[in-house]
Amino acid sequence: MKRFKNILLVHDDRKSGEPTLSRTVALAARNQAQLTVIKVISQIPHDYRVLITSLMPEEIMEIAVREQTLLLKKEIAPFEKTVKIQLKVIIGREFIEIVKEVLRNNHDLVIKTARGMSGRIDILFGSTAMHLLRKCPCPVWLIKPEQEQSYHRIMAAVDVEPSMVEDNHLNNKIMQLATSLAQTENSELHIIHVWKKPDIRYLTDELNYLPPDDSSKLYNEAKNMHIKWLNEFLEQYKDQQYQAHIEEGTAGRVIPEFAEQHQVDLIVMGTICRTGIPGFFIGNTAEKILHRIDCSVLAVKPDGFISPIQLDDK
């Protein structure tokens, strides 16, 4: 995967974070990319000074930064012959400092080990991960702990309804990442597009739009239209190896079910929202998918995404 040239890895000092470090180093080496490993430690409140020690909170944090830096140096030492690694230990709130680091140094990928050991977003993806999915301007790769180093099956979720031009830009970013990663990992690649059938009852009863006997014809026409859209979109990727799937239903239900049934190791998907505060919330469909999956995720933002976190935020 040759896309990334300036990678930021969020350090995880648990044993489950070791495979993530190894995978990230290998990715950086293949891409001849810069690699920065960041560790964010929380600030000690000033009110704690009399409860803990005679040292000022600032002195305590200076000691903590030095100790964490030494620990980081020890952990990355075995990989320094493979790629040059820059270390940063920063004080603050984790997701805010990570996004600021991305903005400050133009990182093009954030990698983080998902919290927890198995299952569902509130366990597998912690609050920092969710904040990054919502607010980080570059792609975020959340790696499931204890996952095998090689991905056997990768799924790219695309929405090819020709409603907005920026959707296709996002679909292309998803496909470029998924196809490149599938080649690198020698993985099966599954492309899925989920479509929702027309509301036959509403068209028949409320609008008196068509006779009941025409409902099956309308269903088939709608399905064929989505098949046509997907085939037209994938024409530009005809040299790639993949299996394309058209699934009827809601994406929030179908994609997690498909991922579980096909034992997908990684989902490449977009996180886009057209309502609410720009750049602040994950789209409703993406949120539903993330709440139900139990695998790694590479989440991609649309072009022009602006993070609600800025460098001058305190």
- 67 and 206 inside one domain: no
Q: State residue 166's pLDDT score.
A: 53
252 and 166 assigned to the same domain: yes
- Residue 283 shares a structural domain with residue 256: yes
Helix (H, G, I), strand (E, B) or coil at 118: coil
Q: Could you tell me the residue range of the domain that residue 136 belongs to?
A: 1-149
Q: Within this chain, do residues 175 and 195 fall inside the same structural domain, yes or no?
A: yes
Alpha helices by DSSP H, the chain: 18-31, 49-52, 57-76, 94-105, 127-135, 165-185, 200-201, 215-234, 251-261, 284-292
Domain boundary among 149, 175, 196: 149
Pick the last residue of a domain from 90, 121, 149. 149
Question: Taking the C-alpha atoms of 1, 287, 243 and 238 in order, what is their torsion angle to the nearest 10 degrees?
Answer: -60
pLDDT tens digits for 216-241? 777 788 889 999 999 999 999 999 99
Say if residue 49 is in the same domain as residue 119: yes
Say if residue 100 is in the same domain as residue 156. Answer: no
- Identify the pLDDT of residue 230: 93
Domain with residue 110: its CATH number is 3.40.50.620
Q: What is the pLDDT of residue 275?
A: 39
Same domain, 122 and 98: yes
Q: Residue 1: its pLDDT value, please?
A: 54
221-237 core/surface letters (b: 16 or more CB in 10 A; e: else): ebeeebeebbeebbeeb
Segment 33-42 mean pLDDT: 94
Q: Which of 128, 149, 170 is the last residue of a domain?
A: 149
**pLDDT number for residue 169:** 85
pTM of the model: 0.86
* 286, pLDDT greater than 90: no
Question: What are 184-218's pLDDT values in tens digits?
Answer: 889 999 999 999 877 666 455 544 555 555 667 77
Report the DSSP beta bridge partners of residue 155: 190, 267
Note whether 179 and 233 are same-domain residues: yes
Number of domains in the chain: 2
pLDDT digits (tens, 9 = 90+) for 62-109: 888 999 999 999 999 999 899 999 999 999 999 999 999 999 999 999
Of 150, 157, 158, 156, give the one whose Cα is nearest residue 187: 150
CATH code of 265's domain: 3.40.50.12370
Q: Are 233 and 133 members of one domain?
A: no
Per-residue pLDDT tens digits for 98-140: 999 999 999 999 999 987 544 444 456 678 888 898 899 999 9
92 lies in the same domain as 181: no
Number of DSSP helices (H) and strands (E) in the chain, helices first? 10, 10
Count the neighbouring beta carbons within 10 Å of the beta carbon of residue 135. 23
